[in-house]
Amino acid sequence: MLRPWDGIGDEMEVARMRMRGLFELTEKLSMPFFCFHDRDIAPEGASLRESNRNLDEIVKLAKQLMASSPTRLLWATSNLFHHPRYMHGAATSPEPKVFAYAAAQVKKTLEVAKELGGENFVFWGGREGYETLLNTDFKRELDNMARFLRLALDYAKEIGFTGQFLIEPKLKNGGLHRGALTSTRSRAAAAIGARTSRWRTSPAWTAWPVATPPQPGCSPTAPWTSPWPSATRAGSQASTWPRGTRSTWRRW
């Protein structure tokens, strides 16, 4: 399929064309909502400052398009999994600088969600989790995740964002046992405290088992086949990330 932006080298021009194309599509199909990751709509820059400038420009365009369209923002989220800095997690990364960078990215996306009138804000820990309990401190990871979510909630209150916070667990997505942590994000929310009703988890995900044991004969570096036939880690993007290296990082 050929798209109008194919072959254009200017990433920001591509982002503008895609945003206009999105609203053309939603209006033709009478779609009431759209949603996005921050890096879906604007390219990542060489620094956080540049990334935020790129995002601001595209958000300004989206706001203009929304002014003449019935399409509204259902949810926004931060992409805390694609960049190599997140290879060992974001909220659960053993590197404090990565935790801080992820927090700054969520801070900006919360501001964008408020500006565009988003009804929800989604957290998906695509890189959160562990390869083996032998090289991690599961309780500390869960505590750090709870701290991260608490910071997000506090900042949402500070800026007046009243949307619902959604936690999306996804089993074994990004690592052999990552589901054991991402499927317990509701537990991290519980660690924040029961004082708020702004946290929800999707029943479609929480109905899945918390974790499944590794397949017999599965080595730390070998590809594995998911219990669901349609999903396999072999050959996927996730399989390109280094595995079993978290033990070389200083825990904090």
Which positions are catalytic? 37, 40
Residues 6+ apart with CB under 8 A from 149: 91, 123, 165, 188, 189, 192, 199
Residue 118: exposed, middle, or buried by beta-carbon count in 10 A (0-12, 13-18, 19+)? buried
Task: Say if CB 200 and CB 122 are below 8 A apart.
Answer: no
Characterize the bridge pairing of strands 199-201 and 120-123. unpaired
Residues 6+ apart with CB under 8 A from 21: 3, 4, 5
